[in-house]
Amino acid sequence: MTRKEMLKMQREEMIEQNGIIYLDNVTKTYSTGVPALNGITLSIGRGEFVFIVGDSGSGKSTLIKLLLRELKASSGNVYVMGHDLAKLRHRKIPKFRRNIGVVFQDFRLLNDRNVYENVAFAQRIVETPMKDIRRNVPAILATVGLAGKYKAKTKQLSGGEQQRVALARALVNNPSILLADEPTGNLDPKNSWEIMKLLEDINANGTTVVVVTHNREIVNAMQKRVIAMRKGVIVSDEKEGGYVDED
Amino acid sequence: MKINTLLYTGKQGFVNIFKNKWYSMASIATIAACLFLFGLFYAILVNFQNMVMSAEEGVSVTVFFEEGTTREKMEEIGEKIKGRVEVSETVFTSADEAWAAFGPDYFGEDYQEGFPENPLAGSDNYEVFLSDVSMQSALVTWLESIPEVRKVNYSEVTANTLSGVNLLIAYVSLGIIVILLAVSIFLISNTVSIGISVRKEEINIMKYVGATDFFVRAPFVLEGIIIGLIGAAIPLGIIYSIYNYALNYMTQRFTMLNSLLKFVSVDEIFTVLIPLSLALGVGIGFIGSFSTVRKHLHV
């Protein structure tokens, strides 16, 4: 067995034992000295759909940044897809991120390119052959309901449509995990529900979905696992929970 | 790295220049302005150096021999002088040649009448031209130590003045080049930095999607190189026209200057200036974009 195969097997064992995302007593302190996350222990299994809720300053965004390895934990261990992120070298980060789809509240699209190019961009990065890109991009655009708008510039689209493009870009490389940071924050209720429906479908196909949100209505209606955070600690973690108010 | 990826990143570099045309134009203008000053200064400097060098070439030391020194001995000493590093050329003039050249100027064609013997007997000499005037005193000391040498004629003031001017030009040009380059790098890196910072968001998105540092950086670096090349080519064209025009104007308008001042030809200047300016343009574009993108890569 090669070293590469051994490492892959170890990662698979890690995922089986602790979940696809596992935080072990993680603390993250910024230069101000106040911990944004304080001793968090959390496990998310493969194929789960999880809401992370909490007010501003609760540590949700820091948690997403840790999972993307944009930040390093001050103490404790973060494991994502079996990778110990503290040991992940800078040059290995791009390859690691290619297995994580990410969607933001402000869409973060390349506004000088059209819909097709925004989605194809994610495939170009992983050096997908051109003929596969030509097949995959229209297919994923059809999945998110934008088949007819592939030539449109992103600025010509509504907020809901822009978020669908972002979703298509996040999904086109078949990631194991989808992180959505306030994906409905800039959308009206109709579009918000449509996006959530898409996320549910994606999850039904086996992708682990982690949604950070403030949207009480959606959280309460969907009856998924809800992890509530406050001031850097997890205050509740319920299997089919609802939105937890800050009192 | 697949060929498709290389082509894609290369194409993005070109596309970015047109997409961000205001930034591209500002960067090109900054590089062009700095390299224009640099090129102009270089042209002036080379001409100065050329004029000082022509003046230096005319500086010579004359060596006279003791009475009774045989022609063979003089030639032997002449060979030794020629072998010195500070010597570029030697010209031997015998007493007869000296009288033949001097006599007609002062006494007319019948200069030999009234002079049964050569009045310049004993004035056989070597005129020694220097390759570097600053080494004149060392050469003179050596010449004076030769027993057969009666006298060494030289002008210490001329040599000192010329080597002083040479040194001054070297210091001033070094100072101006350092200042020009420092100002250029500051201005250019600021322009590049502003241009890239505006696109920080774009870099962040690329990094979140899983782009490698190379994939993110390559289009920016290529863009920087192209901007640097264009920024270098523009002043080269302008300087070429200005220099050619000035040279023609000076040589036609002030014909008397032609014998006094030797201007360097435009081809000679541009043989050095073209590769130098292009290398500076490309180097500044490359380093500027490479280092600025680097700041944004740690996402």
Nearest-CA distance B220 → chain A (Å): 15
Q: Do the beta carbons of residue A194 and residue A147 sit within 8 Å? A: no
Question: A101: nearest CA in chain B?
Answer: B209
Q: What pLDDT score was predicted for residue B260?
A: 67
Question: A107: nearest CA in chain B?
Answer: B205
Contacting residues of A for B208, CB less than 8 Å apart: 68, 97, 102, 108
Nearest to B282 by CA among B240, B238, B237, B232: B232
Does A162 reside within a domain?
yes
Q: What pLDDT score was predicted for residue A246?
A: 56
Nearest-CA distance B228 → chain A (Å): 24
Section B34-43 average pLDDT: 89
Per the CB < 8 Å rule, is B211 touching A109? no
**Whether residue B246 sits in one domain with residue B276:** yes
Question: B202: nearest CA in chain A?
Answer: A110
Which residues, 6+ apart, have CB-to-CB distance to A3 below 8 Å? none
Angle, alpha carbons A120-A121-A126 (nearest 5°): 95
Contacting residues of B for A96, CB less than 8 Å apart: 210
- What secondary structure does DSSP assign to B100-126, as a single string? HHHHHHHH-TTTTTT-SS-TTTT--EE
- Give chain B's domain count: 2
Q: How far is Cα of residue A75 from the mean position of the Cα atoms in its chain?
A: 22
Does A128 reside within a domain?
yes
> Residues 112-141, chain A: which have Cβ within 8 Å of B?
112, 121-122, 124-127, 129-130
Section B250-273 average pLDDT: 82
Domain carrying residue B204:
3-55+161-296
Per the CB < 8 Å rule, is B4 touching A94? no
Does A237 reside within a domain?
no
Does A74 reside within a domain?
no
Does A137 reside within a domain?
yes
Distance CA B166, CA B133 (A): 10
Per the CB < 8 Å rule, is B299 touching A125? no
Section A229-234 average pLDDT: 92
Q: For strands A208-213 and A49-53, give the pairing.
A: parallel
Using the predicted structure, report yes or no on whether residue A247 has a pLDDT greater than 70: no
Higher pLDDT, A242 or B31: B31
Q: For strands A233-238 and A225-230, give the pairing.
A: antiparallel
**Whether residue B181 sits in one domain with residue B235:** yes
**Whether residue B226 sits in one domain with residue B83:** no
Residue type, B226: I
Domain carrying residue A135:
110-174
Q: How far is Cα of residue B270 from the mean position of the Cα atoms in its chain?
A: 11
**Whether residue B142 sits in one domain with residue B191:** no
Question: B8: nearest CA in chain A?
Answer: A124
Per the CB < 8 Å rule, is B215 touching A130? no
**Whether residue B140 sits in one domain with residue B195:** no
A17-21, A100-104, B170-174, B263-267: the lowest-pLDDT one: B170-174
* Partner-chain residue, chosen from B19, B202, B209, that has the shortest CB–CB distance to A125: B209
ipTM of the complex: 0.84
Does A161 reside within a domain?
yes
Q: What pLDDT score was predicted for residue B192?
A: 67
* Partner-chain residue, chosen from B201, B210, B298, that has the shortest CB–CB distance to A95: B210
Per the CB < 8 Å rule, is B205 touching A108? yes
Question: A97: nearest CA in chain B?
Answer: B210
pTM tops 0.90: no
**Whether residue B114 sits in one domain with residue B238:** no
Higher pLDDT, B88 or B119: B88
Structure confidence by residue, pLDDT tens digits, A87-130: 999 889 999 999 999 999 888 898 888 999 999 989 988 888 88
Torsion of CA A56, A60, A65, A68, to 10 degrees: -150
Q: What pLDDT score was predicted for residue A69?
A: 94
